[in-house]
Structure 1
Amino acid sequence: MSLTIWIGGVPVATLEDAGARGGASLRYTDQCRAEHPDGTILLSIGMPVRAEPYPGIKARHFLDGLLPEDHVRDALARRKKLDSADTYGLLQEYGLDCAGAVQITDMGTTPDPAGSGVHLLTERELVQAVRGLPAAPLGTGVDHRVRSSLGGMQGKLTVVEAGGQLGLPLDGAPSTHILKPARLLEDGSQEWPGVAQGENFCLQVIRQAHDEGLVGTAAASRVRTVGHRDAILVERFDRATTDAGLQRIHQEDLAQALGISTKYQKSGIEMPRLRDVAGLLAKHSDLASRRALLERVLLGYILGDCDMHSRNLTVVLSGGRVDLSPAYDVVPTSVWPNHDRELSLWIGHSPMIDDVEYDDFLTEATGWGLRASAVRRTIREVCQAASTVMPRVIEQSKAEEWHHPILDDVMDQATGRIAKIAP
C-alpha cells in the first residue's frame, strides 16, 4: 500500500505502510527529484530531497506532526476504527487538508484543490460541532466528508469563513481559519476564564507591536461566541488568497524540523531548547529570523506565556526560504493562579517565568550568535513597543466588546515584567 504526498498539485513523495509499527517510510518521487536537486528543503528541514527513502523512524516525527495529539488523535482513530498509533492509516483518512501545503491521497488519486466544497454551518450546527469536539474532532460528527487534520491537543475546528458564515471544508478543500472554543468544566464554567480574550489580546499586542517597528508579527484573530461559549477565530497564515484562488503555503513546526517528539524542555534532555531553534534558523535562514525569535521570546515572557513549546513555533518553507512564521497560540497562562509557571522552553538558565532576569535574555540570545549590543537594543525596543500598544489593545477590546477582566490582570503583570527587564 502506498500514499502520495502532494504540494501545490505536484506529487513530491510517497509513503509506504510500515504495517504493525504504525508508521510509514517516505521517498521523494522521481518527478520531484527531477525538479529539485538533492539537498533541497521541500517537505521538511530534517528530510531534504534525496534518492534514498527515509525510514519510518526518521519520517515519523514529521508525519505525526501533521496529526493531532493525545485524546484528539485517539478520538479521530476511533471514528475510523483505527489504532491511534497508526500514523499511516490516520493520514490516509484525514490527510487531505493538513497544516502547510501538504495533501495526502491514495496512490493514483489526484487531489481536487477545491475538494468537495464547503458545508456552511447554521448556528445550530456550529454549536453542535463545538459541543461534539471531544468525541468528533474537527467537525467530523457534523459531516463525514471532513478529511482535515491539524496538530495539537486542544479541541478545535478547521473552518472556512465565507461572507461572515463559517463552514467545514470537505474532502480536502482548504480551510481558512481555526476556531478554538474555551474548554468547559462539568459545571459549565470555563476551565481558564477569559482564555479566548487572553489569547486574542496577546496576538493583537504582537501584531500592533509589529506596526511599531518590530520584525515579527502574529496571526490575525478575533473573539466570537458559539452558543454561550467564548471562542477565538484565528486566520491561518499558511493560506493565501490569490487570483487563482486560495493557495496553501508550506510550513512545519520546530519539533518536525528538529526531528523530535518532545515539545517541552526538561532537565537532562538534549532537545528542544531555544538554542536549537536559533541554530536551525542560523543555518537555514537570515539574521532577521533570529531577531524575530528573540522578539517572540521577549513578548511571550512579557505577556506571561509559559506554553511556548517546540510545536508552538513554526517556520514557513517557501521558494527555498526558511522564515519564522507569525506568532500563534500565545496564551497568557501565568495569569491563572493554578496554571504551571514553568517555561516550556527555558530562557537562559531559568526554567520558571518568575525567575527570569535581564541577564537571562542576554545570555540566551548571545548564545545564538547575536551581538550583545543588538540584544540590548531589541530588549529595549520590545519593552517600549509592548508598553505602547497594550493600553491601546485594552481600549480596543472595550470598544469592540470583547473585553474580559482577566485582560487587566494580564497587562498589570506584563507591566511588572517590563519593569524587571527593561534596560
Structure 2
Amino acid sequence: MRNLGVYIEINGEQTLVGNITGEAYTDATFKYDSEFMNASYGAPISISLPFQEESFTAENTRTFFESLLPEGFSRRAVADWIKTDEKDYLSILAGLGRECLGAIKIAEGGVLSDAHYEKLTKAQVKSLAAEGATRSTQILMETHLSLTGASGKVGLYYDPKGKWYLPKGDAPSTHIVKQSHVRLDRIVLNEQLCMLTAKNIGIDVPESFIVNVGGGEDSDVLYATKRYDRDLNGVKEIDGLLVPLRLHQEDFAQAMGIAAEDKYEKQPIGYMKKMFDLIKKHSSNPIEDQSKLLERIIFNFLIGNTDCHLKNYALLYSPDLKSVRLSPAYDIVSTRVYNSIPEMSFYIGGELDINNINRDSFIKSAEDVGLSNRVVETTFDRLSDRFEKSLKEAAESLTNSGFVAAKKLKNDILKTGGYSHLK
C-alpha cells in the first residue's frame, strides 16, 4: 500500500491536507485529513475536490493530481529514469512532488526539511539553454520539481543582482525558465513578443524576460517568467536569499474536474460557457475577472494562439486560501506562425477553426457565456483597435534589445493570426 502525503503552504507554513493511498496508480484515492477540514485555516485545495468525509474516486484523484505533472517528453523521460510506466502518475508524483505549480507539495514518507540553493555559473546556464528538454528533465529529477506542461522547463531562483540558483530539497523557486524548442523556430522570442504585446494592450501578465547567454540564437536563449504563484514578501532566508511564499493555484481543467487529456474541446460541449461559469461562481470579484477572461480569449484569437486550452487559464488563491481570483495570463505563443492546425482549443460562437472566427463569432458567444452583446462588442473593438500598435511597440522594444528577428515575427503574426482576417 502506497501512502503519499499531500501538503499545502498556508501563510508560509506547511500543513497536511490529506493523503493519497492505494496499491497502485489505478486504484489510488485521495482523502482529506479530518483535522485540516475542521481547522479554521482549512479550505478545499480544488473546486473539484470539495470537503467530504469519504475518499474521492480513483478517477477524480487522478484528474486533479496528474495535472501537477509535466507532459510529453519530460514525463516520458522521468518515467524511464525511475523505471515505471508513463501512466503511473503516482510514482512520478512521488518523485517530483516537492515543488509543484502553486502551493501543493507531495511527499511519500513525510516532508523533508532540507533546503538550499546552489549557485549556477554562466556556463551552467548556457548548457541549460543549449541542451534542450533532456537537460531540463534531468534537473526535474535532481531537484524534485514538478512543472506542468509539454515544453522543457525548470524552476530556478533569480536574485535582484541577476544571479541564478538551482533550488534543492524544499527550497522554492522564483522563476519558471523554458528552453527553445527544436521544431519551433524562435519560440522564446515568440513568447516574449506575445507577452509584451499583451502587456501593452492592457492584459495582466507576469514579468518575463529573455536570458541571452550567447549570440541570441535559439541555443543561446532561455525564456524566464517570474512566478505569480510566489510572493517575495516572506521573512525567512536560505543561504542568504529571501525565501518566497508559495501561493496556491489551480488551472481551469483541475477546477472543472476535467482530465489533462481532455483540455481541448473536440466536440461542442460548452467549454467557454463552463469557463465563465467557473469565474461567476467562485471568483472573489466575478465582474472584473469575467472581463479579464474575455480579453484573454479575444487576445489569443488576435495573436493566433490556438494552444490556449483549459490548462493555460488558472485561478490564484490568497495566502490563506479564503479567496480566489483569475491568475495573470501565461503561456501565450502565436502558434499560427508555425502553420499549426487552425483549430482553436475550444469553440467560440460555434466555430473552432480560427479562419472562420471573427467579431460576429464572439458576439454570438455572448449569450452562451452570460455577457451582453454590447460588452463583447466593446471589448473586441477595443482590443482589435489597439492590437497592431501594441504588437509593433513590443517588436521595436525587442529589436532595440538586439533581437532583430522580432520584426519578421511581428509581420508573420499579422499575416497568420486571427487579426489578419479582420481587415
Shift of 1:138: 4.0
User: CA-to-partner distance for each residue in 1:332-357, whole Å, 9 max, x for gaps?
Assistant: 11122x32121112211111111112
Gap change, CA 1:250 and 1:391, over 3 Å in 2: same
Please say if 1:232 is aligned against 2:223. yes
Q: How far 1:111 sits from its partner (Å)? A: 4.5
Match of 1:312 in 2: 312
- Name the SS of the counterpart of 2:209 in structure 1: strand
Structure 2: distance between partners of 1:209 and 1:311: 23
Q: Which has the higher helix share?
A: 2
Indicate the SS of the match to 2:146: coil
Residue 263 of structure 2 corresponds to: 263
Question: How far apart are 1:202 and its partner, in Å?
Answer: 0.9
Q: TM-score, normalised by structure 2?
A: 0.87
User: What do residues 2-35 of structure 1 show as CA deviations (whole Å, max 9, x unaligned)?
Assistant: 2222212343423333223446311111221122
Q: Distance in 1 between matches of 2:273 and 2:112?
A: 39
Q: What are the residue-to-residue correspondences of 1:389-404 with 2, within 5 Å?
A: 389-404=390-405
Which residue of structure 1 lines up, in the alignment, with residue 239 of structure 2? none
- SS state at 1:117 partner: strand
CA deviation map 1:235-289 (0-9, x unaligned):
1111111042411111111111111121111126x46x21111111122121211
Indicate how the Cα distance of structure 1 residues 347 and 371 shifts in structure 2: closer, same or farther if over 3 A, else same: same
| Counterpart residue number, 2:191 | 199
**Within-5 A mapping of 1:151-190:** 151-162=148-159, 163-184=161-182
Partner residue in 2 for 1:354:
355
Match of 2:291 in 1: 291
Displacement of 1:329: 0.8
Alpha carbons of 1:377 and 1:41: their partners in 2 closer, same or farther (altered >3 Å)?
farther
User: Take 1:415 and 1:133, find their aligned partners in 2: how far apart are those partners?
Assistant: 27
Distance 1:253 1:28 in 2: 20
Amino acid at match of 1:294: L
Q: Does 1:420 align with 2:422?
A: yes
Q: Counterparts of 1:239 and 1:219 in 2: how far apart (Å)?
A: 11
**Aligned residue in 2 for 1:188:** none
Give the Å deviation of 1:36.
4.9
Given that residues 278 and 368 in structure 1 are in contact (C-alpha distance below 8 angstroms), is that contact kept between their aligned partners in structure 2?
Answer: yes
Counterpart for residue 6 of structure 2: 5
Name whichever of 58-67 and 223-232 sits farther off.
223-232
Partners of 1:283 and 1:365 lie apart in 2 by 18
AA at the equivalent of 2:190:
G
Question: Do the aligned partners of 2:25 and 2:88 also contact (CA within 8 Å) in 1?
Answer: yes
Whether the 8 Å CA contact 1:75–1:136 is kept in 2: the answer is no
Q: 1:151 to 1:243 in 2, by over 3 A?
A: closer
In the TM superposition, what is the alpha-carbon distance from 1:303 to its structure 2 partner? 0.8
Q: Are the counterparts in 2 of residues 76 and 136 from structure 1 also a CA contact under 8 Å?
A: no
Give the structure 1 partner of residue 233 of structure 2.
242
Which is worse superposed, 384-393 or 292-301?
384-393
Pair 251,119 (structure 1): closer, same or farther in 2 beyond 3 Å: same
Could you tell me which residue of structure 2 aligns to residue 46 of structure 1? 48
Amino acid at match of 2:328: P
By how many angstroms is 1:326 displaced?
Answer: 1.0
Pair 1:148-2:163 in alignment: no
Q: TM-score, normalised by structure 1?
A: 0.87
Task: Compute the displacement of 1:384 (Å).
Answer: 3.1
Structure 2: how far apart are the matches of 1:167 and 1:97?
15
1:65-84 matches, within 5 Å, as: 65-84=67-86
Question: Quick one: which amino acid aligns to residue 272 of structure 2?
Answer: L
Percent of pairs with identical residues: 26
* In 1, Cα distance between equivalents of 2:95 and 2:14: 20
> Which deviates more, 291-300 or 345-354?
345-354
- What one-letter code is carried by the residue in structure 1 that aligns with 2:37? R
The residue identity in structure 2 corresponding to 1:232 is Y
User: What's 2:238 paired with?
Assistant: none
Confirm or deny: 8 A CA contact 1:23 1:86 kept in the other structure: no
Contact in 2 for aligned 1:300/1:306 (Cα 8 Å): yes
Structure 1 pair 411/320, CA: closer, same or farther in 2 (3 Å)? same
1:255–1:311 contact (8 Å) kept in structure 2: yes
CA deviations on 1:390-413 (whole Å, 9 max, x unpaired) are 222122112222341433324533
Instruction: After TM superposition, give the deviation of residue 56 of structure 1 in Å.
Output: 1.8
Q: Is the 8 A contact 1:22 1:87 kept in 2?
A: no
d(CA) in 1 for partners of 2:15, 2:136: 28
Distance 1:416 1:67, change over 3 A: closer
Deviations 1:41-60 (A, max 9, x none): 53111001222221221111
* Aligned-partner SS, 1:242: coil
RMSD: 2.4
Q: Report SS of the residue matched to 1:65.
A: helix
Q: Is the 2:234–2:245 contact (alpha carbons within 8 Å) kept by the matching residues of 1?
A: no
223, 238, 249: which one pairs with 2:210? 223
Q: How far apart, in 1, do the equivalents of 2:265 and 2:8 lie? A: 32
1:365-410 residue CA offsets vs partner (Å, 9 max, x unmatched) = 3311111111122112222332442222122112222341433324
Q: Distance in 1 between matches of 2:43 and 2:351?
A: 34
Q: Which amino acid aligns with 1:341?
A: P
Give secondary structure in 2 for the equivalent of 1:300: helix
Structure 2 contact 336–413 (Cα < 8 Å) conserved: no
Question: 1:93–1:54: structure 2 CA closer, same or farther, 3 Å change rule?
Answer: same
Q: Which amino acid aligns with 1:316?
A: L
CA distance in 1: counterparts of 2:323 and 2:389, whole angstroms: 32
Contact 1:225-1:231 within 8 A present in 2 as well: yes
Does structure 2 conserve the Cα–Cα contact (< 8 Å) formed by 1:219 and 1:327?
yes
Deviation of 1:300 after TM superposition, in Å, equals 0.6
Is the Cα contact below 8 Å between 1:198 and 1:406 reproduced in 2?
no
